[in-house]
Amino acid sequence: MDHIFFKRKRKNEVKYAEACSSSSPVSGNVNSDNTEKNSDSDLQSSASFEPHFKKKKVSARRYNEDYLKYGFIKCEKPFENDRPQCVICNNILANESLKPSKLKRHLETQHAELIGKPLEYFQRKKDVKSSTQFLGGSTAISEKALLSSYLVAYRVAKEKMAHTAAEKIILPACLDMVRTIFDDKSADKLKTISSDNTISLRICTIAEHLETMLLARLQSGIDFAIQLDESTDMGSCTTILVYVRYAWQDDFMEDFLCSLNITSHLSGLDIFTELEKCIVGQYKLNWKNCKGITSDGAASITGKHSRVIKKLLEVTNNGTVWNHCFIHREALASREIPQNLMEVLKNAVKVVNFIKGSSLNNQLLETFCSEIGTNHTHLLYHTKVRWLSHGKILSRVYELRNEIHIFLTEKKSHLASIFEDDIWVMKLAYLTDIFGILNELSLKLRGKNSDIFQHVESIQGFRKTLLLWQARLKSNRPSYYMFPRFLQHIEENIINENTLKEIKLEILLHLTSLSQTFNHFFSEEKFKTLRENCWVKDPFAFRNAESIIELNLVPEEESELLQLSSSYTLKSDYETLSLSAFWIKVKEDFPLLSRKSVPLLLPFTTTSLCELGFSVLTQLKPKERNGLNGAAGMRVALSSCVPDWNELMNRQAHPSH
């Protein structure tokens, strides 16, 4: 454009010069002046005609249905303007290409073989493409809804919730949140996710999947150990729970194996037969791979008329060991109480039953304790089944002793008089302390990731502590530092010296009785195997040849132990890993030691998992749902395996409801 402008300007100047040359010379000076003025004015006028270049606004092109004859449809993707999409190659062109010439050029250059095809041909291509997009979108939504349904069911089962919770609580809450944050259309997609029947089906499917995963691992021939326990539910149905422990990947895994419903009149042989049918017949496991069986020592399992454990040991060719639950043994050993102290415990239970047995008394005591600002406002029931019951009930009664005394006095109960007896209160303080200590020991035995060496050390440490306390009380200057509530009561009250001596003798008698019962239930003979294999607990304690020779290992094992104890890298692993994980990790480099140590650590030491299982069973089978089979819910709630969601989604289509 610039060169056209200057060319036009040059022509004007030439014409003007020619006009000037043809004029008279008289007027030369005047014309000369005029020429300059005109020239200036022309330049100014020429400059005033200088063009202003503005970008021409191009309107967006719109798709026309006639473009289908060239094989193009309107792209469904959310672009700002219409864009053509080829139904043959699915290429998407720019909005500027919405011209018949450009669309035709694409057909001729890219799909020359389709030139001349009728409109119906491209119409069929369009219909196929539309149906494919619809089915693809529906499938994606269906898969997401299916996965969501499984996830909701899994969470419901893990939390031991009623199946109706998904439809009555979870789904409405999700609809409210999605509708609020997004829109109604998004919320409507959630309505197909869950219902009561869907959740039940999903839980059953997940349970079958988890059972299959577990059995696939156990059927591979690996060693395992089991713990079993029996209990009776509210419907007087006897249930046996079985848990399994096995080595998987880099550590031990513990999982729920099975639940068996046994009628009360079945004999021990019948119970064994049911276990045999399930574990060997249904699950196809080999008893020879079972390296440990743990039970609570109840007569229905271990009694001379039952012989369930004896039959289990026989089918394993005595290649397994039976462990009596440490927690059960500790509870049995703690039951032996001298008669005078037992009377104190019984009276404390009577006080609790008097108050808790009446809803009015219970409410009045709670109101009274709340008004005076005590730390606790209610008492706890006593039960022989729960191991921690003794310590908890005594601790609460002792802490609220003054409030209970006032309350019983107002109620004119004869039980108020026992709180006026300082000797009774002193004995109550001692029982509160000693059962609190026993509770702490029980909790240690329940700890996760604990091995048999740790449990034995806890028991042996408590046995030595009992001996130390007896020696303290027998000395010329007895000390009561180990019983803080008892000591505090002595310091805050004036106690007759003879009375204190009598109580000291009763305490000494009780501690002696505890020592004897613990020695009986945890005899040294039962831990002989552990003493012979003490190197399993700490292989780095044997760094020289002399200490290794004393272990009575075979030469190959001695060589491996000497090499292992000399490795600083493995020592670091030993300090950070659990004992079982450490021995599994070194199985490639030290196979002899690993094969000897893993079966020693594999058996359970307690039946605490079965107790947990019975608690879950109680939640899943309340009275109004007593007829339901909670096996599937228990499997999902208690399983340690993580479901493979992709496999579950491929199993079945999402059902319509």
Domain ranges in the chain are 65-134, 138-325+606-656, 332-522, 529-602
Dist. CA 551–CA 533, nearest whole Å: 7
pLDDT at site 618: 79
Integer CA distances (angstroms), 20 to 16, 27, 386, in order: 6, 10, 128
pLDDT at site 237: 75
Mean pLDDT of the chain: 80
More confident residue, 30 or 147: 147
Q: What is the pLDDT confidence band of residue 192, given thresholds at 50, 70 and 90?
A: low
**Which phi and psi angles does 251 have, rounded to 5°?**
-165, 180
pLDDT tens digits, residue range 206-229? Answer: 999 999 999 999 999 899 999 998
pLDDT score of 628 more than 60: no
What's the token pair of residue 520?
A: 């009986």
Q: What is the pLDDT confidence band of residue 12, given thresholds at 50, 70 and 90?
A: low
pLDDT at site 384: 45
pLDDT at site 41: 45
Residues 98-114 have a mean pLDDT of 88
Residue with tokens 């042989």: 269
Closest CA to 278 of 228, 213, 318: 228
Pairing between β-strand 238-248 and β-strand 84-86 as defined by DSSP bridges: unpaired
Dist. CA 55–CA 67, nearest whole Å: 29
pLDDT at site 374: 54
Residues 252-277 have a mean pLDDT of 83
Dist. CA 271–CA 430, nearest whole Å: 43
Query: Greatest CA span in the chain, whole angstroms?
Result: 159
Q: For the stretch 489-502, what's the b/e string if a residue is b when 16 or more beta carbons lie within 10 angstroms of its beta carbon? A: bbeeeeeeeeeeee
What's the token pair of residue 626?
A: 């007593």
Secondary structure of residue 550 in the 3-state scheme = coil
Dist. CA 611–CA 295, nearest whole Å: 11
pLDDT at site 655: 43
Dist. CA 428–CA 446, nearest whole Å: 27
Closest CA to 617 of 253, 266, 263, 232: 232
Dist. CA 320–CA 322, nearest whole Å: 7
Residue with tokens 């959630």: 190
Q: For the stretch 249-287, what's the b/e string if a residue is b when 16 or more beta carbons lie within 10 angstroms of its beta carbon? A: eeebebbbbbbbebeeeeebeebbebbeebbeeebebeb
pLDDT tens digits, residue range 527-553? Answer: 888 888 999 999 999 988 888 888 889
Helix H or strand E segment including 253: strand 251-262
Q: Decide if 241 contacts 621 (C-beta within 8 A).
A: no
pLDDT at site 429: 93
Secondary structure of residue 225 in the 3-state scheme = strand
Q: Minimum mean pLDDT among 3-7, 171-175, 508-512, 522-526: which range?
A: 3-7
Residues 427-445 have a mean pLDDT of 90
**Which phi and psi angles does 197 have, rounded to 5°?**
-65, -40
Residues forming beta bridges with residue 240, ordered by sequence position: 230, 260
- pTM for this structure? 0.72
Q: What is the pLDDT confidence band of residue 635, given thresholds at 50, 70 and 90?
A: very high
pLDDT at site 369: 52
pLDDT at site 112: 85
- Is the four-CA dihedral 620, 624, 628, 629 of positive or negative sign? positive
DSSP 621: S
Q: For the stretch 288-303, what's the b/e string if a residue is b when 16 or more beta carbons lie within 10 angstroms of its beta carbon? A: ebbbbbbbbbbebbbe
Transcribe 387-399 into DSSP letters. Answer: TTHHHHHHHHHHH
pLDDT at site 213: 93
Gyration radius from the chain CA atoms: 44
Query: Residue 389, Cα to own-chain centre: how many angstroms?
Result: 28
pLDDT score of 509 more than 90: yes
Residue with tokens 């299916």: 146
Query: Residue 656, Cα to own-chain centre: how many angstroms?
Result: 30
Angle CA 603–606–611, to nearest 5:
125
